[in-house]
């Protein structure tokens, strides 16, 4: 049992902090690891409001005390959509995935793209274009897409998000691309682009490497050069049937499920390679981390692919 003196000190501690200017309090709390915030929020209503305040996270960013957070989308059989979860460390040191109730569910026809500490969600049709601020866990509704597109893929180059998908013009399906400026928070006028070459029927995702956007269908790989505004085929990249890829330092990584190999493509030297040392993981049906964004898991002959985010 705590002594009277100890209880007096404990009761005085919150009062001492509340007497300080809010900027000073933010400077103090910004230096506390985020994993301690749930505990701090139990101290009082004042602390709970501070921990939930957007100003605290702005201050953490200014002071350089950002931390990596782990986000994952999990499919819900009942609602038939995807819900957002984050990895949370409990007081006993164990970790668990916790549902983020404030973030909207992702529908099956939505496209998602992580940019810094934000996640952009492109819904079906002209609606549902959102930006999720993962630090504040807030949702911002952005201007609707200027063009109706289905089967969208997207990536970002120099602060501009390039979205390409199927558009029906005169009852004919054609590929089209629009550009969203993340700084101005608007779709760039006059930027409804039609590819100058046939990009095939279905595009299996895209990646950005060396200020260019790469994508692929079943047979060919394509590269878009924003400065020239043209699409070209990439014969070397087309030599492999890659999909569900990610990029680290302008090197593409994808898992070849036929050869059971993690392959790489160096965009600078335009050559393929293989990451060695993964055979023991394959033998034991273990988990293979492709990078901080992706994870591939296989069990009993079935392959499950999930995209994940590690955001500041």
Q: Is the pLDDT reported for residue 272 higher than 90?
A: yes
The better pLDDT of the pair 56, 288 is held by: 56
Calculate the average pLDDT of the chain: 76
Tens of pLDDT, residues 211-248: 999 999 878 999 999 989 899 999 999 999 898 888 88
Question: Which of residues 272 and 22 earns the better pLDDT score?
Answer: 272
Indicate whether 118 pLDDT > 80. yes
Quote the pLDDT of residue 287.
39
Confidence of residue 311 (pLDDT cuts 50, 70, 90): very low
pLDDT at position 33 is 80
**Cα angle value 217/220/224 (rounded, 5°):** 85
Which position has the higher pLDDT, 297 or 53?
53
Helices marked H in the chain: 4-18, 22-30, 37-40, 45-51, 54-63, 279-283
Angle (deg, nearest 10), helices 54-63 and 22-30 = 60
Closest CA to 247 of 297, 202, 288, 294: 294
């Amino acid at each position: 049992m705590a002594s009277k003196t100890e209880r007096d000190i404990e009761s005085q501690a919150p009062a001492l902090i509340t007497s300080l200017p809010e900027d000073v309090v933010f400077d103090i709390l910004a230096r506390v690891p985020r994993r301690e915030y749930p505990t701090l929020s139990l101290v009082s209503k004042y602390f709970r409001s501070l921990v939930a305040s957007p100003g605290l996270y702005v201050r953490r960013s200014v002071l350089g005390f950002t931390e990596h957070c782990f986000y994952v989308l999990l499919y819900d059989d009942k609602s038939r959509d995807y819900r957002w979860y984050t990895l949370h460390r409990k007081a006993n040191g164990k970790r668990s995935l916790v549902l983020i109730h404030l973030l909207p569910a992702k529908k099956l026809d939505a496209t998602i793209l992580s940019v810094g500490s934000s996640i952009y969600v492109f819904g079906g049709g002209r609606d549902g274009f959102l930006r999720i601020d993962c630090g504040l866990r807030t949702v911002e509704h952005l201007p609707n897409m200027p063009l109706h597109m289905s089967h969208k893929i997207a990536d970002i180059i120099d602060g501009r998000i390039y979205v390409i998908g199927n558009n029906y013009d005169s009852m004919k399906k054609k590929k089209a691309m629009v550009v969203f400026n993340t700084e101005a928070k608007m779709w760039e006028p006059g930027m409804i682009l039609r590819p100058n070459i046939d990009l095939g029927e279905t595009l299996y995702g895209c990646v950005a490497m060396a200020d260019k956007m790469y994508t692929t269908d079943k047979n060919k790989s394509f590269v878009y050069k924003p400065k020239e505004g043209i699409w070209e085929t990439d014969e070397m990249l087309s030599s492999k049937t890659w999909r569900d890829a990610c990029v680290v330092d302008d090197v593409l990584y994808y898992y070849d499920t036929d050869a059971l190999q993690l392959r790489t493509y160096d965009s600078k030297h335009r050559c393929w390679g293989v990451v060695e040392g993964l055979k023991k993981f394959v033998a034991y049906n273990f988990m293979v981390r492709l990078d901080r964004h992706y994870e591939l898991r296989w069990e009993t002959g079935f392959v499950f692919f999930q995209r994940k985010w590690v955001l500041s």
